[in-house]
Amino acid sequence: MSLPPPITLEEARDRLLALAPLLPVEHVDAEGCLGRYLAQSLHARRTHPPTDLSAMDGYAVTAGDLSGPWRVVGESAAGHPYSGTVHSGEAVRISTGAILPMGAKAVILQEDLAREAANLTLTGEPPEPADRHIRHCGMDFFENSEVMPAGIRIGPAQAALAIACGYRHLPVRRIPRLAVIDIGDELAADPECCAPHQIPASNGAMLMALARSLPIAASRIGPVADTLAALTAAFEGAADSDVIVTSGGASVGDHDLVLPALEGWGANLDFWRVAIKPGKPILVATRERNGRIQIILGLPGNPVSSFVTAYHFLMPLLRRMLGSSQATPLQIATYLAAPLRANGPRREFLRGNWDGENVVPQTNQDSGALAALAASNVLIDRPSFAPAAQVGDPVRVFLLENGGIA
């Protein structure tokens, strides 16, 4: 068969993300939104702090009376404000987070004061400036101001901010439905019952674990035999999924039947083969079902190839479907701690270990080397035809969330 020329990673990923369906918006309890992405920008429903508050434990006094002495006339505690007005020569005991009484414009730290009964004298330094220990009204945000843009991922701090802004429920995209299909006559479903001619079906578990770092609904099918009938049945079993990911069978061998099975199932090929190593034989297809588009990713069967292509294609796709404004992985710059040979025509992603300052490439870069992958916390990005690199040369890497290493 005539093979299409490989396309670049950026072109392939742009084409894939352009296919991503816009999932409907639902409103979910803020505490249940962790890991999801805001579908709409969030504007504060209240001002915070709603009035001036004390940032420290101490005594509230007027701005023109910072040297004392003072007479203590009351107390303002968090949730229990002082109802009167503070005048020159007076002080109100105040707690962190308590409302600043009327008339008070300064808070003097309790460790800078000496108190006997209701009499208070200065023993340390007054605040400089006078409002140093005051959290002013609106210091954090004002009512109607935008506090979070659409597309931001909701973590613990973002959930807390949304609640502080007056939101109980947040707008997020529906969770994508993902089906992962392991393909290959050589795969054994039970790793404890694996014949000599078999290998344990580990790719499906790996892809499920990778995808479940996002809030998705995932199911696993297989292992599936290398026959058109078995593959068609597997695809039909995943027909209600938003995304179908296969591992194995996407290349050009006699037993690589994913493409003909997809075409027979009614899917349309969008692109096949990307100029990267590992992972060249990735394919992307779509199928229309009940007025919506399903996306099918055919990943290579070698475990490292499957991982790398899932990292660069599956994960960005799922993030985009969830509404992320930053769907693609970010790179950081670092330096080599070992030399690298010159690269060939395909962009290569080498497994490596980064210590925060330098990166060491793994010795074994075979696309079937799971031990080297498991020992890595970065992918070293080697452009096509990159020249040989020496110790200390700059390189760019992608960070991996890879168990206890990262």
* Domains and their CATH numbers in the chain: 9-24+174-322 (3.40.980.10), 25-47+151-173 (3.90.105.10), 53-135 (2.170.190.11), 331-399 (2.40.340.10)
373: nearest Cα among 394, 334, 401, 395: 401
CA distance 298 to 321: 18
Q: Please state the pTM of the whole predicted model.
A: 0.90
Q: Are 245 and 180 in contact (CB under 8 A)?
A: yes
397: nearest Cα among 316, 306, 339, 334: 334
Per-residue pLDDT of the chain (406 residues; tens, 9 = 90+): 567 789 999 999 999 999 998 899 999 999 999 999 999 999 999 999 999 999 999 999 999 889 989 999 999 999 999 999 999 999 999 999 999 999 999 999 999 999 999 999 999 999 999 999 999 999 999 999 999 999 999 999 999 999 999 999 999 999 999 999 999 989 888 888 888 889 888 999 999 999 999 999 999 998 999 899 999 999 999 999 999 999 987 765 555 789 999 999 999 999 999 999 999 999 999 999 888 899 999 999 999 999 999 999 999 999 999 999 999 999 999 999 999 999 999 999 999 999 999 999 999 999 999 999 999 999 999 999 999 999 999 999 999 976 543 3
Per-residue exposure over 390-401, b if at least 16 CB sit within 10 Å of its own CB, e if not: eeeeebebbebe
Residue 135's DSSP bridge partners are: 53
Q: Where are the alpha helices (DSSP H) in 169-289?
A: 203-211, 228-237, 258-265
3 state DSSP class of 234: helix
**Res 404: pLDDT:** 42
Rounded alpha-carbon distances, angstroms, from residue 48 to 104, 135, 139, 166: 19, 10, 7, 10
End-to-end CA separation in angstroms for the chain? 43
Q: Are 133 and 45 in contact (CB under 8 A)?
A: no
Q: Are 299 and 282 in contact (CB under 8 A)?
A: yes
350: nearest Cα among 390, 393, 300, 400: 400
CA distance 154 to 163: 12
Q: Are 139 and 55 in contact (CB under 8 A)?
A: no
Residue type present at position 355: D
Q: Are 76 and 95 in contact (CB under 8 A)?
A: yes
DSSP state of 66: -
**Res 255: pLDDT:** 56
135: nearest Cα among 71, 47, 42: 47
Rounded alpha-carbon distances, angstroms, from residue 180 to 35, 120, 259: 21, 71, 16
Q: Which residue has the tokens 């006339």?
A: 73
R_g of the chain computed on alpha carbons: 30
CB atoms within 10 A of CB 192: 6
70-76 and 119-122 strand pairing? antiparallel
Q: Which residue has the tokens 């075409």?
A: 263
**Is the backbone peptide bond immediately before 278 cis, with ω within 30 degrees of 0?**
yes
**Res 252: pLDDT:** 59
Q: Which residue has the tokens 């702090």?
A: 49
Kindly tell me the sign of the dihedral angle through the C-alpha atoms of 56, 60, 64, 69. negative
Residue type present at position 247: S
Q: Which residue has the tokens 């506090």?
A: 147
C-alpha neighbours within 13 Å on the C-beta side of residue 192: 0
155: nearest Cα among 272, 266, 31: 31
Token duo for residue 126: 């007054």
CA distance 63 to 22: 56
Q: Are 100 and 55 in contact (CB under 8 A)?
A: no
